[in-house]
Structure 1
Amino acid sequence: MLAAGAAQAHDVAAPVTPQLGWSFEPWVVICLGLSALLYGVGLARLWRKSGEGRARLRLQAWSFLVGWLALVAALVSPLDAMGTRLFSAHMLQHEAMMIVAAPLLVLARPFALWMWGLPAGWRRPVGAAVRTGPVQTVWTLLTWPLFAWLFHAAVLWLWHAPLFFEAALHSNAIHTLQHISFLGSALLFWWAVLGDGSFRPQRGLSMLYIFTTMAHTGALGALLTWSGIVWYPSYLGAGEAFGMDALEDQQLGGLIMWVPGGLAYLIAGLALVGKWLGHTPATAGDLASGRRAP
């Protein structure tokens, strides 16, 4: 969850117009850098011991790199500062965290690599701590698919309510909480859906969670797109330098959530279906003869 801790962004309470350049919030940079350093060190150590498992490690490393770069684009690049001027940029930032960075970081299986990245003397006590009953109970609850789905949906709709979204635009603390909850709930959702890479027995439910999430996020995007009023008054006049009024900016933001966002969930769902269909279970004859299905 080190990546989720990096979700503090631009200074929304600054009295002056922000410069649309790269932002280097110290805690963001530290968390991003530390997560990448631990993963890189763990990858190098595990690589020497992996043998035939290097192909999978390579895929996980690429997933982490692309997901990590998506977080950098969302939290450090000029897109971050543009979020205070354009609602559509703010939506693009949120989508980069929730439907690009989050699933890729889950596919990267970071916990094992981070553990290998720790100093040797730390691994055993840290491993023992995370295997304790209370920690395992909390983790099981958080990654229970139904809970993760409900939590992610509630976070998404709650923060897009005008009262809470406006509050996040005027308070650095609330804005940080908004980004942490977006990224954290997305990580839990994708972890619950994608799991540990094994083939879950309740595949139908996994598909249901993906496509219902696509449906309700698309519905929110459609509401923003087709609304004839501006939901967030703080953006009134802010986008004129970019040639858009607040309503056009809101409609573009809704389209970003509706179309590319929905497409990302659709691709994820189809990829899971393809993976499951490609996994042929062993037949009775195979099991009796000691052979495995290809």
Structure 2
Amino acid sequence: MPALSIAIMVLGLLAGPVMAHGISDVDPGSLWSFDPWLLAPLYIVGIGFYIGTQRLWHHAGGGRGVSFHQVGAFWTGWLVVALALTSPLHWLGERLFTAHMIEHGLLMVVGAPLMAFARINGPLMWSLPSSLRPAAGGCLNLPILARPWALVSHPLSATALHGLALWAWHAPPLYIWALQDTAMHRLQHVSFFATALLFWWVLLHGRGVGRSVRLRDGIAIACLFVTGLHSGVLGALLTLSTRIWIPGQGALAGEFDLSPLEDQQLAGILMWVPMGMLYTGAALFFAYRWLTAFDAHAHLPAVRHAN
């Protein structure tokens, strides 16, 4: 399973430096990152979701408004994102291409879909004082916000934005800039996660085209196919390339008996195969839901005729 292979790779990378020659004397505590620019929004969302969930359940009953499954998905996704950004994986990702790819994979195809499934907008609205909720809802309906949101929340727009972020940040000039500049590195992480969250939210809950749920699921299948295809192409290019794209990214490759080129190729394989399988698995889920809805719709006229 792709998720299992990624988890095994993460554990191996986190355990490896402890025994690796040259960095065995690094204090493990110093490998944890606590960047307030990344952690503050994460904690604000987490606290807001918790408060909003408690208020919703107090008002409507446990599991109503936001289900237990959604709460479980949110906190699992939140924990994945938090560990990806703060654990030694983040420190290692600045020095090993493979670790960097795992970190981004956890953000985009694990944490983001889980948090999107949780549909966090409802609990976050309920986290506000009751006197502020109408004003907050009114602000979201202002044309200055509603029109851009209508544009980016279309499945095709969300797919394009997510693809643009993926390809742009793997262009060598931008990638090197992100490695050298802390602000750009933050922006890289935020754009990966934000566009992935938008992408998965639109596929799971978005308006699609028209009001048909079946049409929305059909569009989701197409968007996942396109995303899996172009991300696979990028992964294949990294894997099959005979030259190093990002000099310096594999600084610690030798500690894991890899050359910098092999480190890049392994990172490409991770994008090409495990991440591609996750996109394919999600497409199969939507295909199953689409076929189930189609079958139910096809049997409905026969039931009405029999009655």
> Which category describes the TM-score, using the shorter chain as reference length?
0.7 to 0.9
Amino acid at match of 1:143: S
- Counterpart of 1:57 in structure 2 is 67
Shift of 1:123: 1.2
Q: Which runs of 5+ in 1 are unaligned?
A: 1-16
- Counterpart of 2:93 in structure 1 is 83
Larger CA deviation: 69-78 vs 275-284: 275-284
Secondary structure at the aligned position of 1:233 is classed as: coil
Distance (Å, rounded) in 2 between the aligned partners of 1:172 and 1:39 = 28
Which of these residues, 225, 229, 233, is aligned with residue 243 of structure 2? 229
Call closer, same or farther: CA 1:25–1:236 in 2, change over 3 Å: closer
Distance (Å, rounded) in 2 between the aligned partners of 1:19 and 1:254 = 30
Contact 1:47–1:57 (CA<8 Å) still a contact in 2?
no
Q: CA RMSD in A?
A: 2.4
Which of these residues, 229, 244, 247, is aligned with residue 215 of structure 1? 229
Call closer, same or farther: CA 1:30–1:224 in 2, change over 3 Å: same
- Counterpart of 1:204 in structure 2 is 218
Which of these residues, 183, 192, 202, is aligned with residue 173 of structure 1? 183
Call closer, same or farther: CA 1:49–1:236 in 2, change over 3 Å: closer
Q: Does 1:256 align with 2:301?
A: no
Shift of 1:187: 1.5
Amino acid at match of 1:284: P
Call closer, same or farther: CA 1:137–1:98 in 2, change over 3 Å: same
Secondary structure at the aligned position of 2:184 is classed as: helix
- Counterpart of 2:18 in structure 1 is none
- Counterpart of 2:300 in structure 1 is 283
- Counterpart of 1:241 in structure 2 is 255
Shift of 1:53: 5.2
Shift of 1:75: 0.4
Contact 2:203–2:217 (CA<8 Å) still a contact in 1?
no
Larger CA deviation: 190-199 vs 71-80: 190-199
Distance (Å, rounded) in 1 between the aligned partners of 2:250 and 2:227 = 30
Call closer, same or farther: CA 1:37–1:55 in 2, change over 3 Å: closer
Q: Does 1:96 align with 2:113?
A: no
Secondary structure at the aligned position of 2:47 is classed as: helix
Q: Deviations over 1:7-40 (max 9, x none)?
A: xxxxxxxxxx986622111232322221111101
Instruction: Normalising by structure 1, report the TM-score.
Output: 0.86
- Counterpart of 1:25 in structure 2 is 35
Aligned length: 274
- Counterpart of 1:107 in structure 2 is 117
Distance (Å, rounded) in 1 between the aligned partners of 2:283 and 2:177 = 34
Q: Does 1:191 align with 2:208?
A: no
Contact 1:237–1:245 (CA<8 Å) still a contact in 2?
no
Shift of 1:97: 0.7
Distance (Å, rounded) in 2 between the aligned partners of 1:55 and 1:43 = 8
Q: Deviations over 1:235-286 (max 9, x none)?
A: 2543222322211111111111111100110111111122233332372355
Shift of 1:205: 2.4
Contact 1:98–1:182 (CA<8 Å) still a contact in 2?
yes
Distance (Å, rounded) in 2 between the aligned partners of 1:56 and 1:278 = 24
Call closer, same or farther: CA 1:26–1:236 in 2, change over 3 Å: closer
Secondary structure at the aligned position of 1:269 is classed as: helix
